[in-house]
């Protein structure tokens, strides 16, 4: 059984659809890429799972199942606890993801103590171990530092350690390297891959970068305009993409084996075709709701 | 390191401010028409009497000479003698200071509690009816000045529905066993809760009148910065860790959102102390402000000077304390 399953998830801001019947699954230990151009709704999927959607965006249909349990049917408290224990986030921008007013150590440890009921000393020992794992020199000193005393790369390592601290079953990484220097990007990607392999955590990896997808992921979901266009294995995608948009995406990436190489524009004709497909989908949806 | 630098810098600017205040107050009250000697004399006093009194208070000397004598006195701890009561200005002013300090601090505590609570509730219920209600209340509170609140309270809770005392600092019938003039504080220390309650019942309305405008400012600014902070990545990240909304607001957002409010409260607190002058008059509360108005009416120049200098010392000290707290709370400054 898959650990995470989205079933026909719909979300809107006002009347405007943001997610259109999104379905996807992540099995335990699976590394799945979520790709699509800017504004496709990749981050919104992550936020819907984590329960951190902006106030303006409402879920209008569908289910989010974690180990078969529907998150939306739970009480807010149960849901929070379940997410806190089983799912973690590696955020996009390490410079803004740590609280500037608090020392680094407690920011990693406290969740273990407050939410999972560990003893403070056990939690600190565990975090020091993890900081070693993410190659942070002198972890005891770093734990006493304030975020502004550390570099962006250091902070992202700390956030990675923090994400793995509670041994979650799923980690959502939303473009975890785009805010970093190119040289640091490669180190962080390698670190995420190593940590994922060592801990066997499932990973939902949000990215634009097909080169990264080919190196890191097993399966992928292609998103456009809040709609899933293709859900496939990475091998399948790179050898014989199913959807015309996927093919165009692939063709537009000249050297997909080169991580960091950015997307070339997808031909306009393809975009128009996809937009027409989405319009048809919306229309079908509307007729269906009217009929009911 | 930084702290010491801040203190030194502040002490320097404090002394400059105080010198400036001394010069301005000394000369301004001598330009304004009105003669202290004339007010002391019985009708029909002769030229000679006037000259004798003038000499007694040093008003026969030139202004610069008078100023120098006054400043030399201050440096020796002598602020001169009140013309109306013939007592040393220093002891008069220090005798009244505790009453005003207790009133101002009581008002500040009320403002912080009311304003802070409204900001937190508004943030917790953002987008809901409670927040809309809080916004309306803030708007109203901000547009009514403190003395109007005072008048309103006197009408409501002094006359229409008399639950509080409307005049004085303490009931005259009470026998006060105190050695300091910090009645509110000392009554607690001596466990005289009967006196404490009587004091609070006198102080409640003037303090609340002073507190409401500041409470509204605190509520508005703190809610605004909390709202902005609530969208930041580290707050979202704390949510995904399983923390409750209350924890997220209080532990993650509040410590970062509070700094601008703190600075503003410091500035506004000095305005609040300024407001005590009228409020004390309104409630016949025996503090510095009330004494200041009497001194002005009687043209008691040495007393006016003393009170103004003391207010200036209070204002600059409050500013110093705000700066220090800010530096202590902000880790960037603390390590910078
Ligand atoms: N706070 C918000 N209120 C209303 N609409 C929003 C809000 N945040 C995002 N959106 C809209 O939701 C859609 C999906 O946004 P999302 O952030 O998921 O895109 P994305 O695929 O993550 O893009 P990127 O690669 O740029 O991060 C976009 O059309 C965006 O305009
Ligand atoms: Mg995004």
Do the chains contact at B242 and A115, CB–CB below 8 Å? yes
May I ask the CATH architecture of the domain B89-335?
A: Orthogonal Bundle (1.10)
CA distance B244 to B225: 20
User: Where is A62: in which H helix or E strand?
Assistant: strand A57-66
Let me know: does B79 contact B90? Beta carbons within 8 Å: yes
Mean confidence (pLDDT) of chain A: 90
Question: Which amino acid residue places its CA nearest to atom 5 of ligand 1?
Answer: A13
A280: Cβ–Cβ under 8 A, 6 or more apart, which residues?
none
Residues B86, B90, B96, CA angle at the centre, nearest 5°? 95
Looking at ligand 1, which atom is closest to the CA of residue A42? 21
Residue B308 tokens, joined? 């103004």
Residues in A closer than 8 angstroms to B250, CB to CB, are none
Considering every ligand atom shown, identify the ligand nearest to the alpha carbon of residue A12 and give its number. 1
Nearest Cα residue to B92 out of B102, B78, B75: B78
Alpha-helical (H) ranges within chain A are 42-50, 76-86, 104-114, 120-133, 139-143, 152-165, 182-199, 210-216, 234-239, 244-252, 268-291
Q: Measuring CA to CA, how many Å separate B16 from each of B186, B288, B315?
A: 35, 24, 13
Residue A116 tokens, joined? 């999972």
User: Which of B241, B243, B329 best probes binding to A when mutated, by most A CB atoms within 10 angstroms?
Assistant: B241
Q: B234 touching A, CB under 8 A?
A: yes
pLDDT at B332 over 70: no
Strand-pairing partners, residue A87, are A170
- The response to whether residue A90 sits with its C-beta less than 6 Å from ligand 1 reads no
Do the chains contact at B242 and A89, CB–CB below 8 Å? no
Task: Enumerate the domain spans of chain A.
Answer: 4-291
Do the chains contact at A115 and B232, CB–CB below 8 Å? no
Q: How far is the CA of A62 from the centre of ligand 1 (A)?
A: 19
Q: Per-residue pLDDT averaged across A51-74, rounded?
A: 94
Do the chains contact at A115 and B331, CB–CB below 8 Å? no
**Per-residue pLDDT tens over the stretch B49-62:** 888 878 877 888 88
Residue A22 phi/psi, 5-degree rounding, is -80, 125
CA distance A113 to B282: 55
Question: Which amino acid residue places its CA nearest to atom 18 of ligand 1?
Answer: A41
- Output the CATH code of domain A4-291: 3.40.50.300
Looking at ligand 1, which atom is closest to the CA of residue A206? 22
Q: Per-residue pLDDT averaged across B84-93, rounded?
A: 92
- The response to whether residue A41 sits with its C-beta less than 6 Å from ligand 1 reads yes
**Per-residue pLDDT tens over the stretch B166-215:** 899 999 988 888 999 999 999 999 999 999 999 999 999 999 999 999 99
Paired sense of beta strands A219-224 and A202-207, if any: unpaired
b (16+ CB within 10 A) / e for A243-265: bbbbbbbbebbeebeebeeebee
For residue B81, what is the DSSP state? B
CA distance A210 to A284: 32
Paired sense of beta strands A219-224 and A227-233, if any: antiparallel
Let me know: does B278 contact B290? Beta carbons within 8 Å: no
Give the distance, in angstroms, between the CA of residue B66 and the centroid of all CA atoms in the same chain: 30
**Complex ipTM value:** 0.88
Residue B5: the pLDDT is 83
User: Which of B234, B239, B262 best probes binding to A when mutated, by most A CB atoms within 10 angstroms?
Assistant: B234
Nearest Cα residue to A158 out of B145, B139, B180, B234: B234
Nearest Cα residue to A238 out of A261, A262, A212: A212
Residues in A closer than 8 angstroms to B242, CB to CB, are 80-81, 83-85, 111, 115
Let me know: does A165 contact A87? Beta carbons within 8 Å: no
pLDDT at A167 over 60: yes
Do the chains contact at B332 and A88, CB–CB below 8 Å? no
Q: Per-residue pLDDT averaged across B324-330, rounded?
A: 78
Mean confidence (pLDDT) of chain B: 90
Do the chains contact at A91 and B233, CB–CB below 8 Å? yes
Do the chains contact at A80 and B127, CB–CB below 8 Å? no
β-sheet with A87-90: strand ranges across: A69-70, A57-66, A4-13, A16-26, A227-233, A219-224, A31-35, A202-207, A170-174, A87-90
User: Where does the pLDDT of residue B336 fall: very low under 50, low under 70, confident under 90, or very high at 90 and above?
Assistant: very low
CA distance B224 to B213: 17
CA distance A2 to A27: 4
Task: Enumerate the domain spans of chain B.
Answer: 89-335
**Per-residue pLDDT tens over the stretch A81-137:** 999 999 999 999 999 999 998 999 999 999 999 988 999 999 999 999 999 999 999
Let me know: does A156 contact A135? Beta carbons within 8 Å: no
pLDDT at A286 over 80: no
Let me know: does A91 contact A159? Beta carbons within 8 Å: yes
B279: Cβ–Cβ under 8 A, 6 or more apart, which residues?
B103, B146, B147, B150, B206, B209, B210, B285, B289
Q: Per-residue pLDDT averaged across B66-76, rounded?
A: 90
For the ranges A190-199, B48-57, B92-101, B161-170, the lowest mean pLDDT is seen at B48-57
Residue B44: the pLDDT is 73
Residue B281: the pLDDT is 96
For the ranges A261-265, A277-281, B152-156, the lowest mean pLDDT is seen at A261-265
Q: B127 touching A, CB under 8 A?
A: yes
A163: Cβ–Cβ under 8 A, 6 or more apart, which residues?
A88, A89, A90, A171
Q: Measuring CA to CA, how many Å separate B69 from each of A99, B84, B85?
A: 57, 20, 21
- The response to whether residue A42 sits with its C-beta less than 6 Å from ligand 1 reads yes
Nearest CA in chain B to A109: B241
Write down the pTM of the prediction. Answer: 0.84
Residue B1: the pLDDT is 57
Residue B321: the pLDDT is 86
CA distance B298 to B276: 20
Q: How far is the CA of A95 from the centre of ligand 2 (A)?
A: 16
Nearest CA in chain A to B236: A52
């Amino acid at each position: 059984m898959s650990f995470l399953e989205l079933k026909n998830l719909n979300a809107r801001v006002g009347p405007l659809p943001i997610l259109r019947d999104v379905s996807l699954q992540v099995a335990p230990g699976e590394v799945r890429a979520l790709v699509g151009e800017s504004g496709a709704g990749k981050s919104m999927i992550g936020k819907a799972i984590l329960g951190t959607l902006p106030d303006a965006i409402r879920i209008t249909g569908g289910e989010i199942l974690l180990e078969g349990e529907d998150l939306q049917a739970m009480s807010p408290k149960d849901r929070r606890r379940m997410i806190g224990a089983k799912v973690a986030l590696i955020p996009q921008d390490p410079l803004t993801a740590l609280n500037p007013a608090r020392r680094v150590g407690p920011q990693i440890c406290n969740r273990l103590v407050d939410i999972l009921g560990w003893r403070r000393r056990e939690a600190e020992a565990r975090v020091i171990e993890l900081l070693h794992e993410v190659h942070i020199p002198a972890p005891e000193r770093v734990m006493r530092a304030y975020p502004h005393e550390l570099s962006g790369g250091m902070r992202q390592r700390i956030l990675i350690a923090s994400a793995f601290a509670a041994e979650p079953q799923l980690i959502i990484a939303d473009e975890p390297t785009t805010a970093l220097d190119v040289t640091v990007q490669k180190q962080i990607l390698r670190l995420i891959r190593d940590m994922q392999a060592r801990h066997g955590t499932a990973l939902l990896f949000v990215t634009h970068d097909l080169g990264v997808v080919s190196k890191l992921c097993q399966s992928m979901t292609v998103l456009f305009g809040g709609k899933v266009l293709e859900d496939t294995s990475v091998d399948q995608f790179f050898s014989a993409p199913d959807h015309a948009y996927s093919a165009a995406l692939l063709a537009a990436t000249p050297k997909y084996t080169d991580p960091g190489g950015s997307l070339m524009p997808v031909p306009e004709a393809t975009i128009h075709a996809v937009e027409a497909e989405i319009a048809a989908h919306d229309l079908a949806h509307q007729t269906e709701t009217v009929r009911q | 390191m930084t702290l010491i630098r801040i203190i030194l810098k502040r002490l320097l600017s404090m002394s400059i401010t105080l010198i400036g205040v001394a010069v301005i107050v000394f000369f301004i009250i001598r330009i304004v028409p009105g003669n202290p000697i004339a007010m002391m004399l019985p009708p029909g006093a002769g030229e000679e009497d006037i000259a004798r009194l003038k000499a007694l208070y040093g008003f026969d000397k030139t202004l610069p000479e008078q100023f120098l004598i006054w400043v030399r006195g201050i440096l020796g701890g002598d602020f001169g003698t009140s013309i109306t009561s013939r007592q040393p200005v220093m002891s008069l002013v220090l005798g009244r200071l505790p009453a005003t300090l207790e009133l101002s601090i009581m008002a500040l505590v009320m403002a912080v509690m009311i304003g802070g609570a409204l900001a937190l509730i508004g943030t917790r219920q953002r987008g809901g009816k409670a927040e809309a209600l809080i916004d309306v209340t803030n708007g109203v509170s901000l547009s009514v000045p403190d003395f109007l609140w005072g008048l309103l309270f006197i009408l409501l809770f002094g006359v229409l529905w008399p639950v509080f005392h409307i005049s004085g600092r303490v009931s005259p019938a009470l026998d006060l066993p105190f050695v300091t003039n910090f009645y509110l504080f000392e009554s607690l220390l001596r466990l005289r809760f009967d006196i404490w309650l009587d004091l609070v019942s006198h102080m409640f309305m003037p303090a609340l009148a002073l507190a409401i405008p500041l409470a509204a400012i605190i509520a508005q600014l703190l809610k605004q910065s909390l709202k902005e902070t609530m969208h930041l990545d580290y707050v979202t990240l704390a949510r995904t860790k399983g923390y409750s909304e209350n924890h997220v607001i209080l532990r993650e957002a509040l410590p970062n959102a509070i700094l601008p409010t703190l600075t503003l409260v410091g500035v506004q607190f000095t305005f609040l102390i300024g407001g005590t002058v009228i409020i004390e008059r309104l409630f016949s509360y025996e503090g510095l402000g009330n004494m200041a108005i009497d001194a002005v009416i009687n043209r008691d120049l040495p007393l006016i000077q003393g009170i103004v200098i003391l207010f200036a010392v209070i204002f600059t000290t409050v500013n110093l304390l705000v700066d220090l707290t800010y530096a202590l709370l902000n880790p960037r400054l603390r390590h910078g």
